[in-house]
Amino acid sequence: MFRIGGAPIDPRELEAGLADPAYGGVVTFLGVVRDRADDGRRVDGLHYESYEPMALAEFAAIAAEAHERFGTVRLAIAHRVGDLQVGEIAVAVVAAARHRGTAFDACRYAIDELKRRAPIWKKERYADGEQAWKANAC
C-alpha cells in the first residue's frame, strides 16, 4: 500500500492494511511537522511537492529491497503533499513481519531510503515570513 496525496494520513488504516495473523511484529514510524527548524527558527508549517509517479515507483522498489534484505516483511508508505501545519503527519511507514526485529529493521531502512531517493521536496515556512526549500537527509 503506497500513497501520496493531500489528505491526512491515518496510521491505523495503514496498519490494518498489513494485518496478518502470521505477522507478530508491526512497527509504525510517523514523521510529524515540528515547530522548530534544525537551526532553531520557529516553523509555521511545511509545503511538500512530489513527482508522484516516480515517488510511488521508489516506494515499491524500497519495499522490494526490504523484502530481499530482511525476509518476509510487508510495507505501507504514505506521504502528504501540499501545505501542512505543525503537528500534522507528513509521512508514515509501517512494516509488518513475523518478528519485531525484522519489522524495526525494515521500517528504518524504508524511511531512510525514502528520504534519500524519493522525489519529494520540502519547503519550510518560518514564523518571520521567510521560506526555504530543504534538502532531504537521512
Model confidence pLDDT, tens digit, residues 96-105: 999 999 999 9
pLDDT of residue 116: 96
Q: Is 96 left (phi over 0), alpha (psi -120 to 50) or beta?
A: beta
The residue-averaged pLDDT of 110-115 equals 98
Are 127 and 43 within 8 A, CB to CB?
yes
Question: Could you tell me the domains of the chain?
Answer: 2-128 (3.90.1170.40)
Alpha carbons 107 and 21: distance in angstroms, whole number = 19
Three cell numbers at 83? 501545505
Are 5 and 80 within 8 A, CB to CB?
yes
Give tens-digit pLDDT for 21-72: 999 999 999 999 999 999 999 999 999 999 999 999 999 999 999 999 999 9
User: pTM score, two decimals?
Assistant: 0.95
